[in-house]
Amino acid sequence: MNKIVSRADQALSSHDLCDHCLGRLFAHVDTGTTNAERGRNMRIAVSLERSARSEELPAHEECWICEEIFDSLDRFADACIAELSKIEYKTFLVGTKVSPDIQDREERLWAEVGGEDAEPIKAELNREIGKIMEARTQKEVDFKNPDAVTLVDTRFSHVEMTVTPLFIYGRYNKYSREIPQTIWPCRVCRGKGCERCNGLGKMYQTSVQEIIGDIAIKMAEGSDHFFHGMGREDIDARMLGTGRPFVLEISNPKKRSIDLNVLECESNKNEDASYSDLRFSSRDEVRKIKNASPDKTYSATVSMQDKVNKGLVDEVLQSLSQACITQQTPVRVSHRRADLARKRHIREINLKDFSENSMVLEITAESGTYIRNSSVGMGAVQSLVSLKNSASTAKLPRLMSYRYLITFTRYKNGQSFKRP
């Protein structure tokens, strides 16, 4: 007798099995067909072998393993479709929960006749329910990035649905020196609302995140929003140039095909920030953006109390270009960064404009470099000079004031490059 048929005969001798559970024992032996079809063929082969021995195969009544759970596939599919009808989706994925007793009996059968070629019952249930749903909804199963996942508890026909967040990539420019990039919970009440924050639960009335996020969450009918930026700038720093890349994440969206042109237009009606290059994105791009570390370029306008010699400025700047500096975490970010000494590289410092009492510097540095110092009255150049130690701060007059803007290198394919 064929070894496969012999194993099937052994299984049917011990237990009454349906075609699904019988065929699933040999799922990886005969591909290109369903477990039910495979099980029917095995049953016929076993019946013929027994007939040759003048033996009869008992008629099937109720499956010992699954208790005829596969008769309820349509009911499970309908329950999933009903749950998915609450949202807009194009792709989905099905998962199932089965009784522990069913899984236990399946594993016992594997131990008796061998389970090296078998497929778990949940895998077949997921696939067969998904096939029915695809036919009825004209939507597709997606194993990598489904819009929603339904989990069916087959004991009660109960369905739990998990909606994949909606991700929107873009670039932002920040023109206000009074708003942060993301929501900043109140330090006193930690978001609960108090006198310090006027009951808002946050340190600032709005942020780059909230300006676009509050509009997007209404359009997508989501429950919350999160902002993933490629780094961040200080609250009192502007973000100019080509803009900083970000991904906006909307949780539990009921709508996915929102009009990004409308979102961009509505978000840009404010004066504090603007948004561009919006497109739909994914969680993979969030990882790329969070892990990216492109160099950053600051432009600092420096006003000086006394006249300064340009040759002296050139000498100091030359000593700082290509320098490796050690930086202690500034006090201004100590609430969110560990107090450590970090080595960072200054790529270059160029003098873009100069007069006796003012100058404009363009400073390009490694990602994570603190260009400005937290001490009052200290500016970008004075901070860098003091860190370098090879040049004396006495060579430069005390900086009366400085304002700076940040331009960011373009981001493409996981690497940074400067826009021509």
Rounded to 10°, the helix 380-388/310-320 angle is: 60
Partner residues linked to 80 by β-bridges? none
* Of 121, 115, 116, 117, the residue nearest 101 (C-alpha): 121
Active-site residue 117, yes or no? no
What is the chain's percent helix, strand, coil content, to nearest 5?
A: 35, 25, 40
Considering 234, 272, 277, 284, which one is annotated as catalytic?
234
Partner residues linked to 251 by β-bridges? 224
Distance CA 331, CA 328 (A): 9
Tokens of 258: 């929102």
Task: Match 């900043």 to its residue by tokens.
Answer: 184
User: Which parts of 18-147 fold into alpha helices (H)?
Assistant: 19-24, 35-52, 73-84, 100-113, 121-137
Tokens of 1: 């007798």
Distance CA 409, CA 364 (A): 10
**DSSP strand pairing (224-229 vs 166-174):** unpaired
Task: Match 């008629």 to its residue by tokens.
Answer: 59
Residues 6+ apart with CB under 8 A from 414: 288, 292
Tell me the CB-side half-sphere exposure of residue 115, using CA atoms within 13 A.
Answer: 13
Tell me the CB-side half-sphere exposure of residue 420, using CA atoms within 13 A.
Answer: 0
Contact 299, 361 (CB under 8 A): yes
> Catalytic residue numbers?
234
